[in-house]
Amino acid sequence: MADVLALALPFFGLILIGFASGKIRKIGYEGLAWLNFFIVYIALPALFFKLIAQTPLEQLAQWSYIAATTFATYCAYAVAFAVGVLTLQGDIRRATIQALIGAYSNIGYMGPGLTLATLGQAAAVPTALVFCFDNALLFTLTPLLMALGGTERMAPGTMALSILKRIFFHPFILATIVGVAAAAIGFKPPLIVDKMLTWLMNAAAPCALFTLGVTVALRPIREVPFEMPIVLAIKLLIHPLFVLLLLNYIGGFDRIWIYTATLMACLPPALNVFVIASQYKVDLDRASAAILIGTLVSVVTVTGFLYFITHGLLPVAMFGR
């Protein structure tokens, strides 16, 4: 248990430091703008590029793994959406925010730091694959459902172009694509550039976790909807179980890859849930409450998954394949 706490406590400790800082110093959310830019557009893309570029190309074409993890995320999204439709009198727009809460893990700010700290660099490729294809799925489903609910009025071609831009111009996905290209041709950056990328890569996780804590602190809870425990249970428990069951059923995956996908799925709702809610002007209070409460509860649930993983108790061949 000491090893698990040595992994979990520094990780959540950085979030706590950020949270306390946000409560003590009333700087305002705009004070995070440049730090958010550094994390999203510079530090984390450097991390994805450097790790992917060092990976043999054949390890990147794991289509069955991609299909299983992405379908598991879709299942969590569908279940949370159904809960939203039932509890919100059929309001598709608000149910879509519920679906995001139940399926959109904080795989950008929290994912790479946790998987790499727990499982080492062998977790880099599955981390990047889960990030890219989960985002592609969610960036596609959400605009479509918002349009169906009446929030957006776009021509089909305009909407398709908008969706493609959101997917392929995301800095993390761009960095991954460039990293795959570098792996394909065996490109190695010059020593000076490589050293800069290493510094940026090392800065990514602590900066992201601190920023997450501050951001949560600056978004007070105004209401806790009665269905929130159900949706958070989908996110923190059912989503990772979907991933674990599908990967076990298909079989043939490396233990580290299964552990990585499970860790990515058990993370709390992403900050992007609030960003998307703000974009569509739908359920901002619900999104804010989900991020704060989900992050707090995840201290227990993520630590539990870490315990099972580090002690080899998470099944990786439950169907005997």
Q: Which residue has the tokens 């908008």?
A: 162
**Contact between 277 and 98 (Cβ < 8 Å):** no
C-alpha distances out from residue 209 to 145, 162, 205, 230, 301, Å: 31, 30, 6, 26, 17
d(CA 248, CA 250): 6
| Closest by Cα among 312, 206, 238 to 83 | 238
Burial of 127 (0-12, 13-18, 19+ CB in 10 A): buried
Q: What is the pLDDT along the chain (321 residues), one digit of tens a residue?
A: 677 877 788 888 888 998 899 888 877 777 788 888 898 889 888 887 887 887 777 777 789 999 999 999 999 999 999 999 999 888 889 999 999 999 999 888 888 888 988 999 889 889 988 988 888 888 888 888 888 776 556 667 776 787 777 777 778 788 888 888 888 888 888 999 999 999 998 888 888 889 888 888 887 777 777 889 999 999 999 999 999 999 999 988 999 999 999 999 999 998 888 888 887 888 888 888 898 899 889 999 999 999 999 888 888 877 755
Residue 178 corresponds to which tokens in the numbers above?
């460039």
Cβ neighbours for 42, distance < 8 A, ≥ 6 positions apart: 200
- Per-residue tokens: 242: 């979907």
Question: Residue 140: its pLDDT value, please?
Answer: 85
Per the CB < 8 A criterion, the answer to whether 118 and 306 are in contact is yes
Instruction: Please name the amino acid found at residue 146.
Output: M
Place of tokens 């065996």: 186
The single-letter code of the amino acid at 176 is T
Which tokens in the block code for residue 20? 């306390």
Instruction: Name which of 306, 177, 287, 274 is nearest 228 in CA terms.
Output: 287
Helix, strand, coil tally for the chain in percent (to 5): 80, 0, 20
- Domains present along the chain, CATH in parentheses: 2-310 (1.20.1530.20)
Q: Which residues contact 277 (CB under 8 A, 6 or more apart)?
A: 97, 100, 283, 284, 286, 287
pLDDT of residue 214: 87
The one-letter amino acid code at 232 reads L
Hey, is 105 helix, strand or coil? Answer: strand
Q: How open is the CA angle 166-77-102, to the nearest 5 degrees? A: 100
